[in-house]
Chain A
């Protein structure tokens, strides 16, 4: 699976959009971009994933650049409960049985 690079920490004002970047310049054609988050002392939580088109669900939006070398997770109206560590993970489609590899992630602090 391709390696990802994320900033170690970010701040966001409550009610504003939180934009979390992720670089994955070595991504290959059959690899998806996944985002998870971990709120303090809880298990990681799946947020969203995509291949090349932008994706949106009830939690967030995922914007993937045309060359697929980077992506941005957008929380449209951040709340204090969104304070967490966010992990960007790149992995291939389910043709191989490889488990998730979590890096250090980005610690997002939502400030009142």
Chain B
């Protein structure tokens, strides 16, 4: 069955280190998204991509970057991790369908920055 996976599921890192979170989907979806979720808050959009070599900033993109070299993967990089980036990160994907826009989410990565 098609799916969306994230790795690692849990990560502890130190302030200032570069961290990359992986997201891989096997639905062949054009659209991919990264969200973060902090305790007591809803999901907030970090970056998104509508196809290979396309990337766009979301509402909380500072300190994060993404690149899309193929359809299946959208890795999220924290250039220099900060304690404020401790959060749960969710990746999602959706198809380019004119009548629906259902997003499918991965299981999440819990990141702790010490």
Using a CB–CB distance below 8 Å, which chain A residues touch chain B? 32, 34, 41-46, 49, 87, 91, 93-95, 97, 99-105
Chain B residues contacting A44 (CB-CB under 8 Å) are 43, 90, 92, 103, 105
A94 contacts B101, C-beta separation under 8 Å: yes
Bound-complex Cα distance A59 to B88 (A): 26
Contact present for A99 and B58 (CB under 8 Å): yes
Cα separation A32 to B102 with both chains bound (whole Å): 11
| Assembled-state Cα–Cα distance A14/B89 (Å) | 31
Residues of chain B whose beta carbon lies under 8 Å from any beta carbon of chain A? 31, 33, 35, 42-43, 45, 48, 50, 58, 88, 90, 92, 96-108
In the bound assembly, the distance between CA atoms of A41 and B106 in angstroms comes to 11
Question: How near does chain A come to B24, taking the closest CB pair, in angstroms?
Answer: 14
A residues less than 8 Å from B45 (CB atoms): 99-101
A and B contact pairs by CB, cutoff 8 A, 14 listed: A32-B101, A34-B101, A42-B108, A43-B105, A45-B105, A87-B42, A93-B99, A93-B100, A94-B96, A95-B98, A99-B45, A100-B33, A102-B42, A103-B42
Contact A43 B96 (CB under 8 A): no
| A7 CB to nearest chain B CB (Å) | 15
Q: Which residue of A lies closest to B106 (CB)?
A: A43
Residues of A within 8 A of B108 (CB): 41-43
Query: Is A97 a contact of B42 with CB atoms below 8 Å?
Result: no
CA distance A93 to B33 in the complex (A): 18
> How far, in Å, is A58 (CB) from chain B's closest CB?
15
Expressed in whole angstroms, the minimum distance between the Cβ of A9 and any Cβ of chain B is 13
Q: Which of B99, B100, B107 contacts A43 (CB 8 A)?
A: B107
Inter-chain contact B107/A42, CB cutoff 8 Å? yes
CB distance B33 to A94 under 8 Å?
Answer: no
Known contacts A44-B43, A44-B90, A94-B98; is-contact A99 B33 (Cβ 8 Å): yes
The chain A residue sitting closest to B110, CB to CB, is: A41
B100 touches A49 (CB 8 A): yes
